[in-house]
Structure 1
Amino acid sequence: MTVPRGPAPRAGPEPLADGAAPAPDGALDRQLARLGSSWTWLLGSAATTLVPGILILAWPDETLHVLAVLIGLYLLVTGAFRFVAAFAREHGERLPALLVAVLYVLAGVLCLRHPLQTIAALSLITGAVWLVTGMLTAWAAIAAKELPHRGFVLGAAVLGIVAGIVVLALPVESTFALTRLLGLWLVLIGLVELGVAFAWRAALRKARAGSLPGTPTAA
């Protein structure tokens, strides 16, 4: 998942009430960065992962067509969330985040365009997206040493990498088995992303409290 840089007190415009940070020059960049750095945006992204996982586990006997549509919608909507969140990052880190967003959107379009593809193809698409995204997220979390609650972000990255490896490595011989596997990983990843969203909210509140005049800060 894409997580903005750690909040820090700085000169200039104040953040928005929901935790959005000041953005780079340009009206569109500024609006996207404010939205993408909001903890509620991360919460929405987590819900986008969690809800399809619950639906898939709740109805495991549905056809491959339904499974492909659910996975395609998950990839497409998550790609949109990641695209906006990418603008909350520094310019040097924005390109990898945008590439991940494009990867999600392309994979989602592929699943929706060809919903009757084989189980192996659906597993390959989903596993590859999770693996690449997990690796890029882990790299970003390691590089951003000031990122608050890096453990949550690294946990989400590791979970994505493991999910991608498991889906790609294990042969799936039935729609039922694939449904349970993908649904389980979506729920797990969604829960970790929920933890990241709430950790980001706590970090933003702490940063705002520390920036108030007369508020004592830790040494």
Structure 2
Amino acid sequence: MTTETSFEKSSVNGIRIALGLAGLLTLIAGVLVLAWPGQTAAVVTGIIAIYIIATGLVYAGLGIFSKTKGGWARIGHIVLGLLFVISGIVAFANLTATKLLLAMFVAILVGISWIIEGVVSLSTIGDSGSKVWTVIFAIISIIAGGYLLLSPLWGAVVLWWLLGIMLIAMGLVNVIRAFTFGKG
């Protein structure tokens, strides 16, 4: 076996392992989202809170330790950093409320996006090769977006279920890819 063949084989094995691990983790995340939706959402919210605190510490550090920034820029970074840290702490202190607020915020944001996407689709109908499908897409998009705006909490639950299903499907596909990669 040549060195090149050995390197190629180890590269394929590395990719297969990466695909398999990524697929397995994605599959587990999807199962967790569907089996324990509230607890999984709380963990995701906690991770976001940690990120917010870390970001705040970075901004505060930039303001405190920067030698090149002017006084107002340094003060702005410190204030922004403190706001981030306080926000993260409040999120941890009220994890359930933050989880619900975050879910509703995402649902409302998706709802607005879908309505805008539907309206934009209707506005481009003259350029569309398939006017019927464009109108159908636009109507579904506007109705789904309106539903999310009228019922953001229930919409967030449905979006969470869809996320779980999607993660399971993607995880399974990646695990299958891991077993079949490089065999053809």
More helix by share: 2
Bigger Cα Rg? 2
TM over 0.5: no
Q: TM-score, normalised by structure 2?
A: 0.39
RCO higher in structure (CA 8 A, sep ≥6): 2
Q: TM-score, normalised by structure 1?
A: 0.34
